[in-house]
Every structure is written in C-alpha cells, then in structure tokens.
Amino acid sequence: MTTEDVVASLPSLSALVVGDVCLDRWCYYDPQLAEASRETSIRRVAVVEYERTPGAAGTVASNLAALGVGRVAVLGVIGEDGHGFELEGALDARRIEHSGLVRNPAGLTFTYTKLINRSSGVEDLPRVDYLSPRDLPEDVTSQVIERFERLALQFEVVLVSDQMEISAGGVVTERLRDAISRFAAGHQEKVIFVDSRARGELFRNVLVKLNEDEAAQACTRLGLKTDYEKLREHIGYGSLMVTHGPGGVSVVGGNGITPVPAKSVPNPVDICGAGDSFSAGASLALRLTGDPIQAARFGNLIASITIMQRGTGAATPEDVRKTSKQETRQ
C-alpha cells in the first residue's frame, strides 16, 4: 500500500488505547508576578493561563484521532477529582470515547503539570506530577479487566500504553498483562501493539515496541546481553520494534533484523511524544498492510511530523500527505 492508500483507509479503522491515561496541564506563569507570600516569604509561581490535553496513553489516542481514525476510545483509571473531570473534557474535545475509564476513589488522576515561563516559552521549573504510588485496589483492577475483555472485541487495533515507571500505581498490572496475552492468543486477526517503558519483557503474544534503552534494560532483566532476537523470541511474537530516535527503527523478525531509517529532521522543535506518535502510526499501518516494515516506515513518517510541533503534537491526514510528497521529491 502507498502512504495515500493508508491515509485514505484510516477512517474505516477503530482503535482502543489501554493503559495509563493521564492529564497534561500546560501552565504558563508570569515571572513578573512572582510576589513573595506574606505568610511564608516564599515567592509564588503566578500561573496566568493553562491548557489541558490528554497525556501518556491519551497522547496516543489524540494522535489516532488527529489522523482521522473512525473510532477511538481509551480504557484506564482516573480518580474522583477535578483532574479527572478535566481529562474527560480534553478527551471529549478530540472526540475520543472515554466510557472505559474506571474511577478509583482511593487514587489521584495521573497528571503532569508543566510550568512554562510565559516570557520565554520555556519549561524552566520542575514539573509537578500527581501520582498514586500504590497498587490499584483489586476491585478496580477487576473492573479494568472486565472492560478490556468486553471493549477489545469491538476494535481492530488495541494499543497498550504502559507508561508508569515506578513499581506500583500503573494501570497495566500483572493481571491485566495476562488478560491481554490471553486475548491476543485468541484473536490473532487483531493488532495488539504494546509500548512499555519498564516491563516490555513481561508481555506475551503481542508486538512490543521499545526504544533502545528500554530494550537493553529488558534484556538485562532477563539475564541477557542486549540481543533483540532473543528478546523477541522470549515475548513470543513474530515481530519486535526497537526505536533509535533519529537512527530509525530496528524491525526484528524471524529472519533477522531489518533497519528502517528515519527521515532526517535537523532541528526538531520538540521530541516529546515522538514515541507515542510512532506507535499510533505504526499500529494502524500494520493493521492495513500486515507488514511490520511498512508499519515502521509509516510510524517514522508520523513522528517526523509531530517533532516539528511544540508539546505533544499530532499529525493530520493533510500533514501526512504533504510530508510524503516532499519526501518523494527529494
């Protein structure tokens, strides 16, 4: 399939994103209003405006929606708090279904608060994260698994976003991983695409995408030297993808490793979210073409567009067509 064929087919697809759906709060502060508190003498951070966008697994979903996928939904956990309300609003604004979100009264909505200097446009203060560093209650995990087993049947592409790097608090628990592996084994016609920051080697029967550091660490946890082919065999799926930033992607299959070069982007504006946009593009192209190498090429194309946008950008069909034509001319 050509790039145009892939883009033209996207409205016919449906995709479910499972995992750590979070809220990104982009808070712009005015340093000239940093008066000291009368009570503590500590200078305040005066936020004068802010934006709300879906983050982590929500970034993947936003990329899918921007590309024109016909139906996009998320499955995850939020708290009973204002950040959860804001997250649902941000998802609504992008026409992303969120009835799969499970409320956890004992936890906070996973939130990144980014403090950006309004004068310079630079994020120059420590980020404020809202985390719940404890295991999910068993009843919440059970609800997530029940919804996964019901919802996954309705979608052609299932993306798993295992973003939590600390040992507890993430949505993708051992029980959910087992449910995903069972589902994948019984529904090989579907694309199950996993992006895991700290536990890639624990998944089975699915295509796992890792960056080169994550892949090396996964091999180390298995007691291996860095060996992508043995890692793929351990996971038990026909393909594994390892990204190398500007160095492109290694597509690891039964016949060895195929390098897929990335488009050269000399001065990227913001690489935040590049991996999420790659995952969105690659998973869709894999569903349409059945070819992991073509999928990696399309994922690279999407990432090359989003890194030229501030924040966690997203590529539209028009962006993809324009960039593809430019590459053809070069």
Residues 231-248: pLDDT tens digits?
A: 999 999 999 999 999 999
Of all residues in the chain, what percent carry a pLDDT higher than 70? Answer: 99
Domain span including residue 217? 3-23+57-110+135-329
Is residue 141 one of the residues assigned to a domain?
yes
Please give the residue that has the higher pLDDT: either 330 or 170: 170
Q: What is the mean pLDDT of the chain?
A: 95
What confidence tens digit (pLDDT) does each residue in 75-105 have? 999 999 999 999 999 999 999 999 999 999 9
Please give the residue that has the higher pLDDT: either 167 or 78: 78
Q: Is the pLDDT of residue 67 over 80?
A: yes
pLDDT of residue 83: 97
In the chain, the number of structural domains is 1
pLDDT of residue 269: 81
Rounded Cα distance between 220 and 232, Å, is 14
Q: How far is CA 268 from CA 179, 248, 272, 296, in A?
A: 38, 15, 10, 20
Is residue 125 one of the residues assigned to a domain?
no
Q: Span 274-283, mean pLDDT?
A: 96
pLDDT of residue 268: 80
List, as own/partner pairs, every contact residues 162-167 make where C-beta atoms lie below 8 angstroms and the sequence separation is at least 24, other chains included: 162/19, 162/20, 162/194, 162/195, 162/196, 162/197, 162/198, 162/199, 163/19, 163/20, 163/22, 163/56, 163/57, 163/197, 164/20, 164/110, 164/197, 164/198, 165/197, 165/198, 166/131, 166/133
pLDDT of residue 101: 98
Is residue 17 one of the residues assigned to a domain?
yes
Tokens found for residue 325: 């034509």
What confidence tens digit (pLDDT) does each residue in 127-161 have? 999 999 999 999 999 999 999 999 999 999 999 99
- Under the banding of pLDDT at 50, 70 and 90, the label for residue 214 is very high
- State the pTM of this model: 0.94
Q: Is the pLDDT of residue 327 over 80?
A: no
Is residue 156 one of the residues assigned to a domain?
yes
Q: Span 164-183, mean pLDDT?
A: 93
Is residue 42 one of the residues assigned to a domain?
no
Of all residues in the chain, what percent carry a pLDDT higher than 90? Answer: 89
Which CATH number belongs to the domain containing residue 11 in this structure?
Answer: 3.40.1190.20
Is residue 52 one of the residues assigned to a domain?
no
Q: Is the pLDDT of residue 330 over 80?
A: no
pLDDT of residue 329: 63
pLDDT of residue 310: 79
Is residue 173 one of the residues assigned to a domain?
yes
Is residue 126 one of the residues assigned to a domain?
no
Tokens found for residue 310: 């501030």
Name, in order, each residue with C-beta under 8 angstroms of 230's C-beta and a sequence gap of 6 or more. Answer: 219, 222, 224
